[in-house]
Structure 1
Amino acid sequence: MALTRKDRFNMKTQLLEGLGTLEWDPTRVNVLLREFELQPFTGQFDHPSLDEIIADVTDEKLTELYSVVMGVDIDAVVDVVESVAGDGVWKPDYARVFLSHSAKHKKFVGEVADELALVGIHGFVAHDTMAFSKPWQSQIEQSLRSMQAFVAIIHPEFNSSPWCQQEVGWARGRRVPFYAIRYGTDPAGFIGRDQWPSATNQTPAQVATIISSWVSALPELGAAVTEGLFESLRTAPSFIDAGTAAKRIAALGSLTADQWKRLDATYWSNDQVYGGALPSNALEPFYRENQRQWPPAKP
C-alpha cells in the first residue's frame, strides 16, 4: 500500500496510542519490536523513544505493525487509514465523537448529532453517517478506532444491546474520554458505578448542549472543537446556523492572532455570516471587546 505523508503520520500516531494502552506492557512491546527487527525500547531518557524507533520503518512494515497492534486485517488497513484521516467517516476539522445508542432511538440521536454539528462537533451515528458503498460493520469499527471521544446515550434498550456493550468495551479499551447520559435508565456493567447526568425528557438540543460542554472542557479536544466551530461557521447553510456557531466562538472569550485572521476571512467567505443579523449580533460585541475592527477588513 502506497502511503502519503499524511497516512504515515496518522498511522504512526494511532500506533503509538495503541502501544500506550495497558494491553501493551514493556515486555510485550519489545517482543513485537524484535519480531520486526527493530531496536528494543528501554524507556531510559538517553535511549531512543518509541516514536524514534518507528520513525523510519518502511510502509510495508508500518502497515503490518499497525495491523498487529490495532487488531485489524491488513486488507482492512486501507479503510482504517481513510477513517483516521477523516475521509468518508468524519467531517474534516471537526471534533470526532462517537455517539453510542440503541437502534430504536436512532432518530433522536441523529437530531443530537445535527445540533452538535452546529458547534464544531461531528457526532457519529451508525447508519446515518456511514457511506452506503462500504460494509456498515467495518465503518463502525473504523469510527471506533479513530474517534477522539465517546458518549453513551443510555435509553432503556441500551443495556440489553450487544452492539452497545461492545462499543462501550471498545471505548474503555482505547481509553478515550468517556461520558454517559442517562435517558430513562441507569447504565449496567462497569460504567454503572459512576454517577452520570440524567437527561430524561430533555430535547435533542439540550442533550447536545450537555455533550458539547463536556467535550469543550477536555484539554485534548479544545483545539479540535475550536477548529470545528470555524468550519461550522464557514459552511453554515443558513444565518440561523451561522448565528449558533458565532455565539459559541464569541463564548471562547479570546482568540490567537492566527485564529482572528481566520475568523476575519471566514466572516467574508459566507453570505449567511456577513449578511445575517444573528451572526453579526454575536460577533460585533466580541470584536469590540477585543478591540478589533468591525466589520473585519475584507481579505
Structure 2
Amino acid sequence: MALSRKDRFNMKTQLLEGFGTLEWDSNRVNVLLREFKLQPFTGQFDHPSLEEIIADVTDETLTELYALVMNIDIDAVADVVESATNDGGWKPNYARVFLSHSAKHKKFVGEVADELALVGVHGFVAHDTMAFSKPWQSQIEQALRSMQAFVAIIHPEFNSSPWCQQEVGWARGRRVPFYAVRYGADPAGFIGRDQWPSAAGQNPAQVAAIISSWVSALPELGTAVTEGLFESLRTAPSFIDAGTAAKRIVSLGSLTDDQWDRLDTTFWSNDQIYGGALPSKALQPFYRENQRQWPPAKP
C-alpha cells in the first residue's frame, strides 16, 4: 500500500490516539513495539516519545501497526485511511452515514436523509446524492469507502436485493459502526441475529430521529455530529430548519468556549437565524442559563 504524506500523518495520529486508550497500557505497547524491533517506550522525559519511536517506520510497518492497534484486517487499512482523509461527495463537516435501502423506497429514504441533514448528519442515498456526470457504481463504492457509519433500512424488498446485501457485507468488512432499522421486515443473514428497532408506520422525521440518536451516541462521531449541527444552522434555508438545528445544539447541554464563540458568529451569519422566531426561541433561554449575552454581540 503506497502511502502519501497525508496518509502517514493521519495514520500516525490515529495510532497515538489508539495507544492512549485504556486498552493499551505501557506493557502491551512495548510487547507490540518489540515485535517490530522498535525501541521500547519508557515514558521518561529524557527517553524517546512514542511519536519519535514511530516517526521513521516504513510504510509496511506503519500499515501493520495500524491494523493491529485499530483491530482491523490489514487489507481494510486502505479503506479506513480513505474514510478518515477523503470527504468525496459528502457535505463538509457533517457526519457521514451510508443509508442502505431498496431502490423501491428511494423517495422515503431521501426524505429521511433530508431530516438527518437538519441535525448535522449527511445520509448518503444512492441516486440522490450522486453526481450525474460520474459512473454511479463507482460513486457508491466511494461512499462505502469513505462513510463513517452505516444504517440499513429494512423494507421487505431489502433482503432480496443483491446490492443491499453487498453494501451490508462491505460495511461489516470495514467494521464501521453498524445499525439497522426494521421497516416492515426483519433482516436476513448475519445481521438477523441481532435485535433492531422497528419503525414500521413511522414517518421520515421519526425514522431520522431514531438514526440521529444512535449516531450522536457514537464516541467516534460525536465531534462530527456537533460540527454538522453548526454547519446545518449556518446554512439553514428557512427559520424552521434553523429552529430545528438550534434545538439540537441546545440539547448538547454544554459548549466549549470556542463553540460559544462560533455560535455567536453563526447567529448573525444567516437572516433565518437572527430574524427567525424559532431559533431565537430555542437559543435565548440557553444563552441566559449559561450567563451569555443575548442577543450575542455582532462580529
Q: TM-score, structure 2 length as denominator?
A: 0.78
1:95 matched to which residue of 2? 95
**How far is 1:9 from its partner?**
4.0
1:157 matched to which residue of 2? 157
Distance 1:271 1:166 in 2: 44
2:136 matched to which residue of 1? 136
> What aligned pairs does 1:75-94 form with structure 2 within 5 A after superposition?
85-94=85-94
2:285 matched to which residue of 1? 285
Distance 1:44 1:207 in 2: 51
Unaligned runs of 5+ residues in structure 2 are 18-33, 43-47, 67-72
| 151 and 80 in structure 1: CA distance in 2 versus 1, 3 angstrom threshold | closer
| 236 and 196 in structure 1: CA distance in 2 versus 1, 3 angstrom threshold | same
**Letter of the structure 2 residue corresponding to residue 41 of structure 1:** F
1:199 matched to which residue of 2? 199
1:230 matched to which residue of 2? 230
> What aligned pairs does 1:120-269 form with structure 2 within 5 A after superposition?
120-269=120-269
**How far is 1:2 from its partner?**
11
Cα deviations by residue, 1:207-258 (Å, 9 ceiling, x for unpaired): 0000001111111111110110000001111111100000000111110111
**How far is 1:49 from its partner?**
11
Residues 225-234 or 45-54, more deviating: 45-54
Cα deviations by residue, 1:179-232 (Å, 9 ceiling, x for unpaired): 100000100011101111101111000000000011111111111101100000
| 144 and 46 in structure 1: CA distance in 2 versus 1, 3 angstrom threshold | same
| 51 and 71 in structure 1: CA distance in 2 versus 1, 3 angstrom threshold | farther
Q: How many residues align?
A: 270
CA contact (8 A) 2:95 2:228 kept: yes
| 177 and 71 in structure 1: CA distance in 2 versus 1, 3 angstrom threshold | closer
Distance 1:103 1:197 in 2: 21
CA contact (8 A) 1:11 1:81 kept: yes
CA contact (8 A) 1:83 1:90 kept: no
**How far is 1:175 from its partner?**
1.3
**How far is 1:289 from its partner?**
0.8
**Letter of the structure 2 residue corresponding to residue 294 of structure 1:** W
SS of alignment partner, residue 151 of structure 2: strand
SS of alignment partner, residue 90 of structure 1: coil
Unaligned runs of 5+ residues in structure 1 are 18-38
| 95 and 87 in structure 1: CA distance in 2 versus 1, 3 angstrom threshold | closer
RMSD: 3.5
1:46 matched to which residue of 2? 41
**How far is 1:89 from its partner?**
1.6
**Letter of the structure 1 residue corresponding to residue 201 of structure 2:** N
SS of alignment partner, residue 269 of structure 1: coil
**Letter of the structure 1 residue corresponding to residue 205 of structure 2:** A
CA contact (8 A) 1:110 1:128 kept: yes
1:117 matched to which residue of 2? 117
1:31 matched to which residue of 2? none
**How far is 1:118 from its partner?**
0.3
CA contact (8 A) 2:88 2:143 kept: no
SS of alignment partner, residue 220 of structure 2: coil
**Letter of the structure 1 residue corresponding to residue 268 of structure 2:** W
